[in-house]
Amino acid sequence: MVTELSEATFQKFIDDNQLALIDCWAPWCGPCRRMAPILEQVAKAMEGKAGVAKMNTDDNPDLSMKLGINAIPALLIYKNGVPQPPLIGLRAKEEIISHLNALL
Amino acid sequence: MKGFDVAVIGSGPSGIQAAIHSSRKKASTVLLGKPSGSAMSGTHVENYFGIPGKADGDGLLRTGIAQAVSFGAVHIPESVTSLSVTPEGFRAVLEGGGEVTARAVILATGVSRVKLGIPGEKEFFGKGVSYCAVCDCSFYKGLKVAVIGGEAEAASSAEMMTRYASEVFWVSDDIRAADYAVGKAEAAGVRIIRLKPVSIGGGERVDSLNLSDGSSLRVDGVFIELGARSAAELAMDVDLMPEVDDTIAVDGSCATTVPGVFACGDITGRPWQVARAVGQGAQAGLSAADYAKGTAQ
């Protein structure tokens, strides 16, 4: 299941998941729309191993700025609360899963 | 606005062949796009059945378009900037400001080159370099940006960016977008720089774009928008989801999952060969004509 995050729930999600993947997206972004079903598949494949969530940058502009996001879709990754290099742009399911598994 | 049975988007070998077969099947057909945008333009062909030696690619494209026109197709050498669904079929907006409607659409845009290949492009991707102005425009409010590319997509992206950025430079030494699109961008306040970009500079993130005359633009973002609007983006305009590699899935009749939308040529996958593109073009032209005329089996 992909959790929808806001500024209020963002940090708790990172704290609650040893490995967290957060897709920063916006409704008008074509590649973001294409990422949505991929993210669902990643969430299913990584169930029990990583938390998968998404955050609408349009609804959370302050947090987006604070996170330094300037290109979407942006897949932010946190391991034990520590930010890892993000994956920017549309990615294949296999690539994302492989990337996450390497961090386990 | 002109109405047709079939609109073919893309004037390369696949699109031209689709227009030939569609028009020969007595479907009113419009062929959209500039042949100069085809991968065949500026090259030669030597592995196509019946053509000995090296055939000039531009010559083949010219001959093919003339053939399509001789069978009744109308050729409009303009890129399509957007596509939408209408009650009767589809509407395509052209870079020159005009529109055409059609009962069926064939996507035959080919595979567009996305990467520019200059120093700094890869290093600053996601740190000020973007390939999607529509996606990332809102992150550049009040900042300075450069848009790189010579075609309609760069023109419309630059014009759109003026609603967000404090200053927008449109950089290209080869502007081929229609006068209408260029004028629209200029009227919105875009500064056109007719030079070649040579490298992107910065530290943590982009801070400059270096140009072929040795000058440098101080910018916070660089948007790379090469070529015409891609098939993947046009597909999404009509709720057709492309594959993750930007290809469009089709069945044996070149139909997509959206009724009335067909695709052929390189955008449906490899191998990127003229022979495959032409064969699929013929199939797509026949299928679209059948669909448009209500005779699809």
Question: The domain that contains B282 carries what CATH number?
Answer: 3.50.50.60
The rounded distance, in Å, linking the Cα atoms of B165 and B144 is 6
Residues B18 and B106 in one domain: yes
Does B155 map to a domain?
A: yes
Residues B238 and B96 in one domain: yes
Read off the pLDDT band of B44 (50, 70, 90): confident
Read off the pLDDT band of B41 (50, 70, 90): confident
A88 vs B126, B134, B244: nearest CB: B126
The rounded distance, in Å, linking the Cα atoms of A2 and B235 is 26
Residue B255 makes CB contacts below 8 A (sequence gap 6+) with B261, B262, B287, B291
pLDDT tens sequence for chain A (104 residues): 899 999 999 999 999 999 999 999 999 898 999 999 999 999 999 999 999 999 999 999 999 999 999 899 999 999 999 999 999 999 999 999 999 999 99
**B10, B87, B109, B230, B236 from B112: Cα distances, Å:** 11, 30, 8, 6, 16
> Does the complex come out with an ipTM higher than 0.90?
no
Residue B113 confidence (pLDDT) above 70 = no
Residues B265 and B184 in one domain: no
pLDDT tens digits for range B150-181: 998 899 999 999 999 999 999 999 999 999 99
Does B124 map to a domain?
A: no
The residue from B224, B239, B256 where one domain ends is B224
Read off the pLDDT band of B36 (50, 70, 90): confident
Residues B254 and B217 in one domain: no
Residues B107 and B247 in one domain: yes
pLDDT tens digits for range B45-85: 888 999 888 899 999 999 999 999 999 999 999 999 999 99
State the nearest Cα–Cα gap between A95 and chain B, in angstroms.
11
Residues B138 and B214 in one domain: yes
Long-range residue pairs from A84-90, CB within 8 A, at least 24 positions apart, any chain: A86/B126, A88/B125, A88/B126, A89/A31, A89/B125, A89/B126, A89/B131, A90/A31, A90/A34, A90/A35, A90/A38, A90/B244
Residue A64 with chain B: CB contacts under 8 Å:
139
Residues B44 and B187 in one domain: no
Using the 8-state DSSP alphabet, how is residue B276 labeled?
A: H
Does B118 map to a domain?
A: no
pLDDT, chain B, mean: 94
Phi, psi of B294 (to 5 degrees): 70, 25
Residue A101 makes CB contacts below 8 A (sequence gap 6+) with A49
The rounded distance, in Å, linking the Cα atoms of B268 and B260 is 16
pLDDT tens digits for range B214-235: 999 999 999 999 877 888 889 9
Average pLDDT of B6-34?
97
pTM for the model: 0.85
Does B245 map to a domain?
A: yes
Does B120 map to a domain?
A: no
A32 vs B127, B135, B242: nearest CB: B135
Least confident of B36-50, B192-206, B212-226: B36-50
Residues B214 and B143 in one domain: yes
The residue from B224, B243, B261 where one domain ends is B224
State the nearest Cα–Cα gap between A42 and chain B, in angstroms.
14
Residues B235 and B106 in one domain: yes
Q: Which residue of A has its CA nearest to B244?
A: A92
Residues B12 and B96 in one domain: yes
Does B215 map to a domain?
A: yes
Residues B211 and B262 in one domain: no
The residue from B224, B242, B265 where one domain ends is B224
Does B49 map to a domain?
A: yes
pLDDT tens digits for range B127-145: 999 999 988 999 999 999 9
Residue-level pLDDT at B231 = 87
Structural domain span for residue B107: 2-112+229-292
Cβ atoms B188, B110 nearer than 8 A: no
Rg over alpha carbons for chain B, rounded to the nearest Å, is: 20
Residue B86 confidence (pLDDT) above 70 = yes
Read off the pLDDT band of B296 (50, 70, 90): low
Residue-level pLDDT at B297 = 46
A31 has a chain B CB within 8 A of its CB = yes
Average pLDDT of B99-126?
92
Residues B66 and B96 in one domain: yes
State the nearest Cα–Cα gap between B210 and chain A, in angstroms.
21
Residue B1 confidence (pLDDT) above 90 = no
Domain count of the fold of chain B: 2
| Cβ-defined contact of B244 to A90 (cutoff 8 Å) | yes
Residue B115 with chain A: CB contacts under 8 Å:
none
Does B297 map to a domain?
A: no
Residue-level pLDDT at B38 = 86
A30 vs B140, B205, B233: nearest CB: B233
